[in-house]
């Protein structure tokens, strides 16, 4: 049963009053039945969604995603259920085609090669919520269900750091299948950052501006080569420039990146090189960082974060 902490909101608010100016950089937590939100001063930094909003139109019922995630200035980086891809959910993990011995499932939400109906990720419990100056963390226990049957258990460890040059979200997913499961080969799916559609976009790698063509969703070989990180810069209509980057841990399975400018996604795809076989009871460990920043690409910060695992 999901642990609720409504009473802590009032306690935290009172603590902020008593501490006065010394609490301005401390991250505060707010929890409802559907969200866990972290704020710093008057700015919302990050929300973890336990379930989608009612009547959101998203084609999968899964929670276990992050939106919004903001830059240090408070600009929202992520997008949720945009008109062009209603199944995109800010920062999320899902695959478009999974096969077990008894059922098939599409937790991504495309729905063309495996069913989405009755397939959802349920957040069962949130524990170990910790907040302090410039940092917060929690652990979520989730179940990936197909028509009520649990296909795998997910333990998610999330760590948030607010730095002057970028907000850093570090995520560790431990996925334990209840039976043998095949993650089919696709050019896309897996871990994904979906950024806003507004304004012009430019992609970067550690070497500078990325000039590779947009990949084809039906051709895994068209994905971009593996690298420490990729970033997207958005020049917003309000003249602000913001950006987001995804950093992949070197121990993650072999990866190609489905980074598509028109779709505004950064997607380190572990099933692009080949299908992946998950064995019953053997965990798959995936680790990523997402950085939200203002202005130009903070190459030195991203390289530092990539080297600090």
Give, in degrees to the nearest 5, the angle at Cα 121 between 232 and 33.
Answer: 95
| Rg, Å, the chain Cα set | 19
pLDDT score of 289: 99
Q: What is the pLDDT of residues 6-58, one digit of tens each?
A: 334 333 333 343 333 344 579 999 999 999 999 999 999 999 999 999 888 88
How far is the C-alpha of 296 from the C-alpha of 113, rounded, in Å? Answer: 39
Mean pLDDT of the region 255-263: 98
pLDDT score of 7: 38
Mean pLDDT of the region 148-172: 97
Q: Is pLDDT at 219 greater than 50 in this prediction?
A: yes
How far is the C-alpha of 91 from the C-alpha of 289, rounded, in Å? Answer: 11
Mean pLDDT of the region 189-208: 97
Q: What is the pLDDT of residues 265-293, one digit of tens each?
A: 999 999 999 999 999 999 999 999 999 99
How far is the C-alpha of 12 from the C-alpha of 8, rounded, in Å? Answer: 6
Peptide bond connecting 68 to the previous residue in cis, omega within 30 degrees of 0: yes
| Nearest in space to 105 (alpha carbons), one of 163, 62, 47, 57 | 62
Inter-residue contact 146 to 38 (CB < 8 Å): no
Q: Is pLDDT at 236 greater than 70 in this prediction?
A: yes
94-306 belongs to CATH 1.10.3470: no
Work out whether strand 241-248 and strand 200-205 pair parallel, antiparallel, or are unpaired.
Answer: unpaired
């Amino acid at each position: 049963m999901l642990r609720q902490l409504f009473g802590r909101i009032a306690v935290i608010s009172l603590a902020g009053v008593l501490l006065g100016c010394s609490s301005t950089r401390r991250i505060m937590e707010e929890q409802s039945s559907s969200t866990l939100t972290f704020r710093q001063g008057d700015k919302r930094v990050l929300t973890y969604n336990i379930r989608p909003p009612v009547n959101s139109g998203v084609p999968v019922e899964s929670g276990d995603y992050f939106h919004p995630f903001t830059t240090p200035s408070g600009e929202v980086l992520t997008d949720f259920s945009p008109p062009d891809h209603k199944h995109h959910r800010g920062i999320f993990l899902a695959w478009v085609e999974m096969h077990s011995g008894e059922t098939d499932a599409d937790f991504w939400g495309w729905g063309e090669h495996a069913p989405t109906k009755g397939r959802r990720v349920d957040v069962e419990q949130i524990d170990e919520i910790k907040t302090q100056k410039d940092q917060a963390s929690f652990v979520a226990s989730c179940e990936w269900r197909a028509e009520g049957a649990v296909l795998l258990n997910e333990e998610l460890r999330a760590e948030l750091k607010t730095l002057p040059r970028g907000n850093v979200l570090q995520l560790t997913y431990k996925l334990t299948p209840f039976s043998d499961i095949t993650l089919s080969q696709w050019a896309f799916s897996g871990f994904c950052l979906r950024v806003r559609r507004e304004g012009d976009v430019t992609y970067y790698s550690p070497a500078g501006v990325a000039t590779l063509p947009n990949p084809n969703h039906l051709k895994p070989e068209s994905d971009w080569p593996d690298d420490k990180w990729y970033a997207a810069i958005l020049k917003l209509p309000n003249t602000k420039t913001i950006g987001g980057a995804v950093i992949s841990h070197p121990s993650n399975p072999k990866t190609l990146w489905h980074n598509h400018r028109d779709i505004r996604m950064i997607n380190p795809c572990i099933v692009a090189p080949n299908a992946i076989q998950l064995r019953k009871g053997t965990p798959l460990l995936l680790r990523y960082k997402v950085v939200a920043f203002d202005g130009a690409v903070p190459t030195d910060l991203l390289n530092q974060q990539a080297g600090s695992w």
